[in-house]
Amino acid sequence: MKRKLLLVVLAISAFLMIACGSSNTPAEQNADNTPANATETPANTNETAQNGSNITEPTDTSQNTIDNTSTDTAPEAAVETTQETVVETDAGWHSDYYDAEAMKDVTLNMYGVTDTIIPVLEQFTADTGIKVENLTMQNGEILQRLINENTAGTPIADIWFTGGADTFISAAQQGLLHAYDAPEGAVLDDIMKDPDGYWYGTSLTLVNWVVNTALIDEYGIRMPETWDDLIQSGLEGEISMSDPASSGTAYNTVSAILQVRGEKEGWMYLDQLIGQVPYFTARGSDPANNVLSGEAIVGINASNGDRELEENNANIKIVYPKDGTGWWPQPVAIVEGTKKLDAAKVFIDWMISKKGMQTLADVRYAAVARDDISIPDGIVDIKDIQLFPVDFQANAANRESILLEWQNHLPQ
Amino acid sequence: MSIDIKAVTKDYNGFSALKAVDIHIQNGELLALLGPSGCGKTTLLRIISGLLEPSSGEIWFDGVDVTKWETQKRQTAMVFQNYALFPHMSVEENVGYGLKIKRMPKADIQKRIDEVLEMVELSGMNDRSIQSLSGGQKQRAALARALITEPKILLFDEPLSNLDEKLRVAMRQEIRRIQQRIGITSIYVTHDQREAMAIADKIAVMNHGEILQYDRPETVYHTPSNAFTADFMGHVNILQLSHLSPATAFYRKLMQAHAFSGKSHLLLPPNEILLTDASTAADITNTIFATVSSRELLGNVVRYRLSLGETVLYADCLYRVSLSLYELGQTVAIDFSPNGIHLF
Amino acid sequence: MHFRTPSPHKLIYGIIFLFLVYFILLPVISIVFYGISSSDSLFFTTKGFQNSFIYLRHSLSVAIIVTIMATVLGLTLSFTLHRMAFPGKGFLRALVMLPFINPPFVGSIAYIMLFGKRGLITHRLLGLTISPFGMRGIATVQVLGLTALAYLLISSAIQKTNVSLEEAARTMGASEGKVLLTVTLPLMAPEIAGTALLVFLASMSDFSTPLIIGGSYQTLASNLYIQITGLYDMQSAALSGIILLLPCFMAFWLHKYHLSKRSYFSDDTASDAIVSKALPKSMKAIMIGLSALYLILLLGQYLFIVLGALTKQWGYDYTFTLAHFQSLKGTQVKPFINSFKLASVTALFASGTGVFLAYLLKLHRPKFATAADLFATLPAAVPGILFGIGYLVTFRYPILGVGKFWLTPLPSIVLLGTKAIVYLICIARFMNIGLRAGYALLEHVHPDIENASYNLGAGQARTFFSIMMPQMKSAFFASFLRSFSDGMVTLGAIILLIIPSNKVAVQQIFTVVKSNASGDAAAIALLLSFMTLIFLGFYYLLFNFRDVIKRLKAPYKKEVNL
């Protein structure tokens, strides 16, 4: 009997430990947050930063200025020594907010859509001592969780890296992101970053085709090179594509085709393409899986380098259409309300630095947003690929009307 | 219908539950299978009903070998120890089940149900649920359900063991009455020797998968053929001859009346023993003396436990108000008629 | 009957009742309010409404077909494996349980690779080119998995049936078929209905199978997930969730108040040794054939998953490799530990509370007993992902949102974003397993046993710990093992609540499946199955420690069973 009692007591204490250990963090954090903060808009983000007494960062005016160091009069900026800066520049990265001693036990919580960038995160940890915990979800899940965690005043993630630019844009509009004017951001093209510093593009997510070469040979089909090759006979029912309503990949493809070919031509082409697709998958990752399992010969896919597919599967080839393809930047951003703002800024600085981008290119074979890095062998050179001109703002604005029209073109 | 059980055996993974059982049961007879639990009596009953297949041997009904017949074809009906009434059906549905299986017209079924329910004195209970019946009523319903199909053989598997003593006596008379009225061949499994004697035409005493004795109840009772049967029939004074010392008056008296050759046991019913006060004994050498070691009052009878040296005997005296009882440690003289002794 | 209810019991009951209201009732109500508070939702367009009903039709079609097939298969398997004599039964009985320890996604992939357009069996072997997607695929995969559940529930019912009732019918001339139809099955009707209900609910709430092999045939549950992840519209998701809840509640209510009223079990039969010898040959053949088909499919699927985990490219290049296992190193060990912790702790609490609640409700009949019973069993009818939404929208506010206005000076606790919320939702979800196990056990425990103990002078605590606890031990263990294996593979309920530092292994598999690395997914899945099995074995030994020691000490003692 005693043994049983002991067991019960042990169990209860174990549970309490788990429950308390994790619940005191948001409790502390929420203590100073008035409910009004829960539903803020991007416009008053800076106010929030001021109100939150636990956030000790430079005053909000610094965020709108490009030259960070000159206007930064906050105490924290003073802490940094020039010595460190020099050393870090040699390392290929630099952050004004980096404090090796204070940050060696910091763990950043990250949301993202893939685990494949873990080696990049490991390099970041090696360089900075800051650990990163990545939780992988779908784009929409991340957005929903950010919204609800923001409402609750308990942001779980500090940073958000990987995913579609559209979710980042939407999150920025809803005040879920923290604007940071990163010094290195100036190097990036305008299209690769948010004008207000809510997010920065790291690499290019390119729309491509995953092709099952074994089946191409078996059925004597011409290896597709241009978009028109997809509508050749022999590929009926053999093209897998996701549903533009629920997949960024497909929506980007559709809108890019419409932008490049024009409304009339575009829809005529899409009608033919729709005829080749047996059904539209729910998720952007499904077409590649369908090609892998032989359910389709060509899958419309999107990737950031991601050469594993080719490397691990002898019969699979990733093809970039010769006559242009859709793309979007793969952003990184700071989550509004993070308690580890400085470490998060270090992450952004590192990520878009030469070192970070080089790592991304080396590890992932991704086409990165900077052009001042050495391009490793086997990487997709964006200079060889014709990118469809993309207007992300227009994409977002036309979304509903395009999707509505899309419905009308589906076979009933 | 007569039943012949020919050299039936049943093995379970090397354990023999039945060892070459042979029985002939005449038409209309009620046979009681009597024995302790685990003796194989229920196994034998199930083999007769066809619920179990014998390992070897044959079962014949009226001169027809039915060993390979399914239970459904044998026209036996069974009454179970736990009644086995279908809880999802009413009394009437339970009783009518066997006829419904036979696809008898509804009106005929209804008529038969009413008849049978009347026979077992359950008239008017047609729509009652099984759960609402008392133990005795459940047993009647189970009997009615068994009888309605007019089976050729009725099988009872300790049907009364869940009832209390009084109800048990009443029910066994009822069963006997109905069985006699229909004249149906029946086999009745029980571990209660009084129940067996009260109800049966013949008793088969079983132990360890064997029939030890198979005869009329009074024969089995008065002249058991072995120590187990004697003991199981409720006898208390079963003596092993080899354990008796020849130098006693008791032994001499036995020798006068019976030849011991070929016999091993002696049965002396307690009511055959006559007790007298030892002090009144005349012939001291030929009087059998015993000491009272305990005394028990069993209603109309007083039972004394007597010690004759190493040997222990029980003696019953009819109890009357005027009777003066022997005290513990008192020496008494005993006597019995040689005819009351059975040697086997 | 009147019982003294010890005051600690009352206190604990109060706590449990509060837990039920706060962590079960409230989130479910929240879903409804959250859903209908969105007036501008896409759902309210005609199209949205129409679509929801299409998905409802899909859900119901799949669920009804799966329920019928899995229940019939479960019945067949139960009868074959418990009522027929053939060698290797023990092994087959264990084999049927396989789906309990495996996450579902990998099974779907295996199905596509075996029966797909270019599947190993359909295409390479039989030369067919048919699409595996759609209702047939969903139904097949779900039937393969849920038959195990049906088998588990029905076989335990079969072991409890009173065999002499069947014998009685037989002696009255009923053929084996008739016996089955008029006696055996009607007697098991409440159990069969209960099984069908659970299978129905499991099918209705399964979102991953339709997601992977539904093709264009999506169900309410999978569409709910797509609405959140693809359309970023959780309010519409909550609204279609309400539509999903309706049939679930209806089935639940129908079962609870109409079908499960009577139970016909007697506890004096050990029918494991009973063999129906006289079944007609045709019936026997059909039963054995169906069982064999199922077992072969199941085993084939698993062997194929093993193959996938150990070969270079699943379905294409069958060169042996351990690379898939090597890809799992370092940081990816943590999710496995988290899964184990989550499953163990929640199983302990859910089973303990569930069994104790069963004891309280059954023997002490406290106030609001009906409500407590209803609340505790409610999660069984709420699909996991919907329950997760309920938690997300409820516990994002500090203490119910009430604290926001009344207790401003106090530090308020927000559950969202803590590890605790994941544990709480699992406990809330699995408590009904313990409750059911407790009820089933208490059927055979006479209420007077407690009074007997009081009568002998034992105090309340002593009576509970030395008399009632040992009695309920077996229910606790059974429920613990079920909850543990469920906890190891649960995803729907926690997918919206887990935090980066507390990732679980199933979520990893789900992610890997998505990232086009099916071999890796198979490897993780296998590892998780293996781990679940090891720990189930470990817990089994722990619970039966004394028996095991006894058996080890006396290995040569054999009992003869009649």
Query: What is the rounded CA–CA span in Å between residue C485 and residue C313?
Result: 29
- Whether chain C has a CB inside 8 Å of the CB on B88: the answer is yes
The alpha carbon of residue B73 is apart from the nearest alpha carbon of chain C, in Å, by 6
Q: Do chains A and C touch, with touching meaning 3 or more CB–CB pairs less than 8 Å apart? A: yes
Q: Do A23 and C420 touch (CB under 8 A)?
A: yes
Query: What is the rounded CA–CA span in Å between residue B25 and residue B8?
Result: 15
Query: What is the rounded CA–CA span in Å between residue B318 and residue B301?
Result: 5
Q: What percent of the residues of chain B are helix, what percent strand, and what percent coil, each to the nearest 5? A: 30, 30, 35
Q: Is residue A247 part of a domain?
A: yes
Number of domains in chain A: 1
CA distances from C198 to C66, C151, C382 (A): 11, 12, 11
Task: For residue C186, give the chain B residue with the closest CA.
Answer: B88
Angle (CA) C348-C352-C357 rounded to 5° is 150
Quick one: average pLDDT of C204-228? Answer: 87
Q: Do C419 and A295 touch (CB under 8 A)?
A: no
- Chain A residues whose beta carbon lies within 8 Å of the beta carbon of residue C230: 138-140, 243, 245-247, 282-283
Q: What is the pLDDT of residues C372-385, one digit of tens each?
A: 888 888 888 888 88
Q: Do A154 and C216 touch (CB under 8 A)?
A: no
Does C273 score more than 60 pLDDT? no
Does C425 score more than 90 pLDDT? yes
Q: Do chains B and C touch, with touching meaning 3 or more CB–CB pairs less than 8 Å apart? A: yes
- What pLDDT score was predicted for residue A34? 38
Across the interface, of C313, C414, C496, the residue whose CB is closest to A145 is: C496
| Percent of chain B clearing pLDDT 90 (strictly above) | 31
| Percent of chain C clearing pLDDT 70 (strictly above) | 86
Quick one: average pLDDT of B84-104? Answer: 86
Quick one: average pLDDT of B86-102? Answer: 86
Does A18 score more than 60 pLDDT? no
- Chain B residues whose beta carbon lies within 8 Å of the beta carbon of residue C173: 72-73, 75, 98, 101-102, 149
Q: Are A325 and A227 in contact (CB under 8 A)?
A: no
Q: Do C118 and A215 touch (CB under 8 A)?
A: yes
Cβ burial B83-119 (10 Å sphere, 16+ → b, else e): bbbbbbbbbbbbbbbbbebeebeeeebeebbeebbeb
Quick one: average pLDDT of B68-94? Answer: 85
Does C518 score more than 50 pLDDT? yes
The alpha carbon of residue C442 is apart from the nearest alpha carbon of chain B, in Å, by 20
- What pLDDT score was predicted for residue C64? 95
Q: Is residue A131 part of a domain?
A: no
Q: Which two tokens stand for residue C155?
A: 């076989």
Any chains having at least 3 CB pairs less than 8 A from chain B are C
Does this chain's domain C1-32+328-562 share its CATH topology with C47-322?
yes
How does DSSP assign A120-169, residue by residue? Answer: HHHHHHHHH--EEEEEE--HHHHHHHHHHHHHHT----SEEESS-HHHHH
Across the interface, of A116, A153, A282, the residue whose CB is closest to C226 is: A282
Q: What is the pLDDT of residues C486-509, one digit of tens each?
A: 888 888 888 888 888 888 888 888
The alpha carbon of residue C252 is apart from the nearest alpha carbon of chain B, in Å, by 23
Q: Is residue A101 part of a domain?
A: no
What are the strands, taking DSSP E only, across chain B? 3-12, 15-25, 30-34, 56-61, 64-65, 76-79, 153-157, 185-190, 202-207, 210-215, 238-240, 265-267, 273-277, 288-298, 301-308, 311-318, 331-336, 342-343
Q: What is the pLDDT of residues C11-38, one digit of tens each?
A: 889 999 999 998 999 899 888 888 877 6
- What pLDDT score was predicted for residue A48? 37
Q: What is the pLDDT of residues A244-302, one digit of tens each?
A: 888 888 888 898 888 888 889 999 999 999 999 999 988 888 899 889 888 899 999 98
Query: What is the rounded CA–CA span in Å between residue A233 and residue A210?
Result: 18
Does C241 score more than 50 pLDDT? yes
Does A35 score more than 60 pLDDT? no
What are the strands, taking DSSP E only, across A199-292? 199-212, 239-242, 280-281
Residue C399: CB partners within 8 Å, gap ≥ 6? C407, C412, C413
Q: What is the pLDDT of residues B19-53, one digit of tens each?
A: 989 999 999 999 999 999 888 898 899 899 888 88
Q: Do A245 and C500 touch (CB under 8 A)?
A: no
Q: Are A127 and A91 in contact (CB under 8 A)?
A: yes
With the C-alpha atoms ordered B260, B263, B264, B269, is the resulting torsion angle positive or negative? negative
Q: Do C466 and A1 touch (CB under 8 A)?
A: yes
Q: Are B233 and B342 in contact (CB under 8 A)?
A: no
Angle (CA) C335-C336-C341 rounded to 5° is 95
Query: What is the rounded CA–CA span in Å between residue C401 and residue C384?
Result: 23
Segment 367-396 of chain C within 8 Å of chain A by CB: 392-393, 395-396
Q: Do C172 and B77 touch (CB under 8 A)?
A: yes
Q: Do B15 and C174 touch (CB under 8 A)?
A: no
Q: Which two tokens stand for residue C24?
A: 């079960």
CA distances from B140 to B134, B163, B171, C512 (A): 10, 12, 8, 68
- What pLDDT score was predicted for residue C497? 86
Maximum CA pair distance of chain B?
82
Across the interface, of B13, B51, B149, the residue whose CB is closest to C167 is: B51
* Listed ranges A52-56, C273-277, C457-461; the one with the highest mean pLDDT: C457-461
Angle formed by the axes of helices C234-254 and C26-36, nearest 10° = 130
> C270-277 — which CB contacts under 8 Å span 24+ positions?
C270/C159, C271/C82, C271/C158, C271/C159, C271/C160, C271/C161, C271/C163, C272/C82, C272/C159, C273/C561, C274/C83, C274/C163, C275/C83, C275/C84, C275/C85, C276/C79, C276/C83, C276/C84, C276/C176, C277/B53
Residue of C105, C229, C407 to mutate, testing the A interface (most A Cβ within 10 Å of its Cβ) = C229
Quote the mean pLDDT of chain A: 77
Task: For residue B145, give the chain C residue with the closest CA.
Answer: C172
Residue B129: pLDDT band by 50, 70, 90 thresholds? confident
Q: What is the pLDDT of residues B225-277, one digit of tens each?
A: 999 999 999 898 898 888 888 878 888 888 877 777 788 888 988 888 888 88
Segment 24-53 of chain C within 8 Å of chain A by CB: 47
- Chain C residues whose beta carbon lies within 8 Å of the beta carbon of residue A15: 345, 349, 423
Does C466 score more than 80 pLDDT? no
- What pLDDT score was predicted for residue C558? 43
Higher pLDDT pick, B191 / C9: B191
- What pLDDT score was predicted for residue A230? 92
Quick one: average pLDDT of A45-71? Answer: 38
Q: Is residue A279 part of a domain?
A: yes
Residue among B71, A212, B238 at smallest CA distance from B59: B71
- What pLDDT score was predicted for residue A59? 38
Does C79 score more than 90 pLDDT? no
Q: Do C182 and B97 touch (CB under 8 A)?
A: yes
Cβ burial A65-89 (10 Å sphere, 16+ → b, else e): eeebeebbeeeebeebeeebeeebe
Q: Which has the minimum average pLDDT: A14-18, C185-189, C429-433?
A: A14-18
* Listed ranges A27-36, A44-53, A187-196, B201-210; the one with the highest mean pLDDT: B201-210
Residue of A246, A311, A410 to mutate, testing the C interface (most C Cβ within 10 Å of its Cβ) = A246
Residue of C163, C166, C170, C172 to mutate, testing the B interface (most B Cβ within 10 Å of its Cβ) = C172
Does A180 score more than 90 pLDDT? yes
Cβ burial C261-299 (10 Å sphere, 16+ → b, else e): eebbbeeebebeebebebbeeeebeebeebbeebbebbe
Q: Do A26 and C123 touch (CB under 8 A)?
A: no
- Chain A residues whose beta carbon lies within 8 Å of the beta carbon of residue C50: none
Q: Which two tokens stand for residue A85?
A: 């800066």
Q: What is the pLDDT of residues B302-327, one digit of tens each?
A: 999 999 888 889 999 888 888 788 88
Does C427 score more than 90 pLDDT? yes
| CATH assignment of the domain containing A296 | 3.40.190.10
Quick one: average pLDDT of B170-198? Answer: 91
Task: For residue C175, give the chain B residue with the closest CA.
Answer: B72
Residue A238: pLDDT band by 50, 70, 90 thresholds? very high
The alpha carbon of residue B83 is apart from the nearest alpha carbon of chain C, in Å, by 8
Any chains having at least 3 CB pairs less than 8 A from chain C are A, B
Q: Do B51 and C171 touch (CB under 8 A)?
A: yes
Quote the mean pLDDT of chain C: 81
With 0-12 / 13-18 / 19 or more C-beta atoms within 10 angstroms meaning exposed / middle / buried, residue A119 is middle
Residue A86: pLDDT band by 50, 70, 90 thresholds? very low
Q: Do C164 and B97 touch (CB under 8 A)?
A: no
- What pLDDT score was predicted for residue A20? 40
DSSP code at position C400: G
Does A208 score more than 50 pLDDT? yes
Higher pLDDT pick, A6 / A118: A118
Does A61 score more than 90 pLDDT? no
- What pLDDT score was predicted for residue C322? 82
In the block, which residue shows the tokens 């970023």?
C232
- What pLDDT score was predicted for residue B85? 85
Q: Are C70 and C150 in contact (CB under 8 A)?
A: yes
Angle (CA) B65-B67-B68 rounded to 5° is 110
Higher pLDDT pick, B49 / C412: B49
Angle (CA) B2-B5-B11 rounded to 5° is 150
Q: Do C183 and B53 touch (CB under 8 A)?
A: no
Q: What is the pLDDT of residues C328-366, one digit of tens each?
A: 765 578 888 899 999 999 999 999 999 999 988 888 888
- Chain C residues whose beta carbon lies within 8 Å of the beta carbon of residue B72: 170, 173-175, 278
Quick one: average pLDDT of C47-53? Answer: 77
Q: Which has the minimum average pLDDT: A101-115, A333-347, B37-51, C163-177?
A: C163-177
Q: Are A357 and A369 in contact (CB under 8 A)?
A: yes
With the C-alpha atoms ordered B256, B259, B260, B263, is the resulting torsion angle positive or negative? negative
Residue among B107, B118, B129, B5 at smallest CA distance from B57: B5
Quick one: average pLDDT of C420-432? Answer: 91
- What pLDDT score was predicted for residue C353? 92
Higher pLDDT pick, B211 / C271: B211
Residue A123: pLDDT band by 50, 70, 90 thresholds? very high
With 0-12 / 13-18 / 19 or more C-beta atoms within 10 angstroms meaning exposed / middle / buried, residue A118 is middle
- Chain C residues whose beta carbon lies within 8 Å of the beta carbon of residue A137: 229, 495
Q: Do chains B and A touch, with touching meaning 3 or more CB–CB pairs less than 8 Å apart? A: no
Measured from the Cβ of residue A206, the count of other Cβ atoms closer than 10 Å reads: 25
- What pLDDT score was predicted for residue C267? 42
Q: Which has the minimum average pLDDT: A380-394, B215-229, C89-103, C360-374?
A: A380-394
- What pLDDT score was predicted for residue C264? 52
Angle (CA) B243-B246-B250 rounded to 5° is 90
Query: What is the rounded CA–CA span in Å between residue B211 and residue B198?
Result: 20
Quick one: average pLDDT of B3-13? Answer: 90
- Whether chain A has a CB inside 8 Å of the CB on C232: the answer is yes
Q: Is residue A82 part of a domain?
A: no
What architecture (CATH level 2) is domain C1-32+328-562? Answer: Orthogonal Bundle (1.10)
- Locate the domains of chain C by residue range: 1-32+328-562, 47-322
Residue C404: pLDDT band by 50, 70, 90 thresholds? very low
Residue of C40, C131, C223, C232 to mutate, testing the A interface (most A Cβ within 10 Å of its Cβ) = C232
Segment 520-549 of chain C within 8 Å of chain A by CB: none
Measured in residues, chain C has a length of 562
Quick one: average pLDDT of B164-188? Answer: 89
- What pLDDT score was predicted for residue C44? 60
Task: For residue C116, give the chain A residue with the closest CA.
Answer: A295
Q: Provide the residue type at C7 as one letter.
A: S
Q: Which CATH superfamily is domain C47-322 in?
A: MetI-like (1.10.3720.10)
Host domain of residue A255? 205-327+386-409
Q: What is the pLDDT of residues A356-379, one digit of tens each?
A: 999 998 888 888 888 888 887 777
B331: helix, strand or coil: strand
- What pLDDT score was predicted for residue A46? 39
How does DSSP assign C56-114, residue by residue? Answer: HHHHHHHHHHHHHHHHHHHHHHHHHHHHS--TTHHHHHHHHTGGGGS-HHHHHHHHHHH
Higher pLDDT pick, C283 / A13: C283
- What pLDDT score was predicted for residue A79? 40
Query: What is the rounded CA–CA span in Å between residue B53 and residue B48?
Result: 9
Q: Which has the minimum average pLDDT: A24-28, C260-264, C291-295?
A: A24-28
Q: Are B211 and B40 in contact (CB under 8 A)?
A: no
